[in-house]
Amino acid sequence: MLRWILFIVFYLIISYYGFQAMKTVTKNSWIHYIFIALTLFVAANFIVQFTVYSEGRVLNPAKSYAFGFLLAFISFNMVLVPILLGEDILRSIISVYDKIVTKNDNFYLPSRRKFISQVALGLAAIPFTALLYGMYRGKYRFRVLNYTLHFEDLPEAFDGYKITQISDIHSGSFDNKAKIEYGVNLINEQESDIICFTGDMVNNKASEMQDWKSLFGTLKAKDGVFSVLGNHDYGDYVDWPTPEAKTENLNSLIQIQKDMGFDLLLNESRFIEKNGQRIAIVGVENWGKGGFKKAGDLKKAAQNLTTTDFKVLLSHDPSHWEEEVIKDDYNYHLTLSGHTHGMQFGIEIPGWIKWSPAKWRYKYWAGIYKELGQYINVNRGFGYLGYPGRVGIWPEVTVIELKKGTAKS
C-alpha cells in the first residue's frame, strides 16, 4: 500500500508541472480539462490493471499498454519538471531580492514566462511522441541484420553456411497477427541452412503460445530449427497453485515446441554433417548472472563433443558467455544469445553511435562481440516485454554467414 501512495504522490507532483506549463502556454480551459482527465485516466488505468486485474508479475497486452502510456506520460512531465522547477527557483530568488534590496513590502512572484513553458513543452514532446511511436509502429519494425564471421578452423564443407537467429518471441505480448505473420515470413525468406531460437518464447505461461504455434510452426530450414529455453519460459514469475502446476506448464511449453518442429536442446548437443565433416549445435538451459535461473549445464551439453569440434552454442543470457563460456576449455566458436532486448530503447546509427540503457546492466547487450577468439551475437529480440514498443532498438532477425579463413582487412 505504501508504494502505491508514494507513486500517487510522485505522479501528482510531476503532473502539476505539466498542468502549469499548459496553463502558461494556452488559456483555453478545455485543454486544461483534457490534460487533467488524461492525467487521472492514465494513472487510474495503471493502478487498476496492476491491482484488480493483476496476476502477480504476469504481463498481458492490457497491462503492457497501461504501463506504456504511463511511461510516456511520466517522461513528458519529467522533462518539464527540471525546467519549470528551475524557473520557480529563479522567480523566488528575484522576489526575495526585490523584497530585501528594494524594500518592497509586498512579496510577489513574477509570472511564468510563456517562452520558457513553450520550450519545455517542445522538449517534453520528443520522448513522449517517441514512446507513442514505439508503441504504434516501432515494436513491429522488423529488420534483418547480416554478419559474416571468419574462422580458420571452420570445416571446409561449411564455408558459406548461413544461420538465422531469432530470440525473445514473448508471444504473450502480441496484439497484431498480420505483423507477426510478416515477421515470420521475413525469417523464412532468409533461406538459411539453420534457424536458431534463443529463448523466451512466452512471457509467463505456455498457454500464451497456443494461438501462435501454427504460425511459428511454419518456420523451416534445411538443417532444422533449434531452440533453448529463456528465463521467462520456466514460469518462475507466476504464483502457481502447486509445484505440479508449474511443472505441467513447462512440460506443455516443451511439447508445444516439439509440435512446432523445434528441436529443443536441454543441455544437449546435435551434429550437422556435410561431406563427411561436421559442426556441433550446442544448447543449454537458461543461465543468468545474479538472481536469474542457472539451469544451464555447459559440461553436460558438451559431453559428446571434442575440443576440436566446431561449436555453435545457444545460450539465452549473454552473461553466461561472459562468466563461463569464454573461459571454457572447449572453445565455443560462436555463441548466440538474446535476453537484453537492447532495453527496447536506445540510439543506433551504424558507424557513429550505439547506445542503450541496457549497457549499464550488460557488458554485451546487442550485436556481435569478440573475446579470446570467440564470438557472441546478442540478438535484440523479435518481440517485446513490459513497455509495449520499441524506440531506436528495433525487432531483429539475424543472419550470420560462416566463412573459412581470415577476414580481409
Domain boundary among 85, 105, 136: 136
Domain boundary among 114, 136, 158: 136
The verdict on residue 409 lying in a domain is: no
pLDDT of residue 275: 93
pLDDT of residue 38: 93
pLDDT of residue 226: 98
CA distances for 178 relative to 128, 174, 256, 391, angstroms: 26, 11, 22, 21
Is the pTM higher than 0.85? The answer reads yes
Residue numbers in the chain where pLDDT is lower than 50: none
The verdict on residue 216 lying in a domain is: yes
Angle between helices 2-25 and 61-101 (to 10 degrees): 60
pLDDT of residue 406: 85
pLDDT of residue 303: 94
Instruction: Give yes or no: residues 13 and 130 share one domain.
Output: yes
pLDDT in tens, 213-272: 999 999 999 999 999 999 999 999 998 999 999 999 999 999 999 999 999 999 999 999
The verdict on residue 51 lying in a domain is: yes
Q: Which three cell numbers stand for residue 75?
A: 517522461
How far is the C-alpha of 279 from the C-alpha of 408, rounded, in Å? 24
Instruction: Give yes or no: residues 84 and 26 share one domain.
Output: yes
Measured in whole angstroms, the distance separating CA 289 from the mean position of its chain's CA atoms is 17
Backbone phi and psi for residue 263, each to the nearest 5 degrees, phi listed first: -95, 95
Instruction: Give yes or no: residues 84 and 194 share one domain.
Output: no
When divided into structural domains, the chain yields a total of: 2
pLDDT of residue 102: 62
Instruction: Give yes or no: residues 168 and 289 share one domain.
Output: yes
Q: Which three cell numbers stand for residue 378?
A: 546478442
Instruction: Give yes or no: residues 108 and 151 share one domain.
Output: no
Instruction: Give yes or no: residues 197 and 124 share one domain.
Output: no
CA distances for 143 relative to 5, 182, 223, 340, 382, angstroms: 42, 11, 23, 17, 10
Instruction: Give yes or no: residues 114 and 191 share one domain.
Output: no
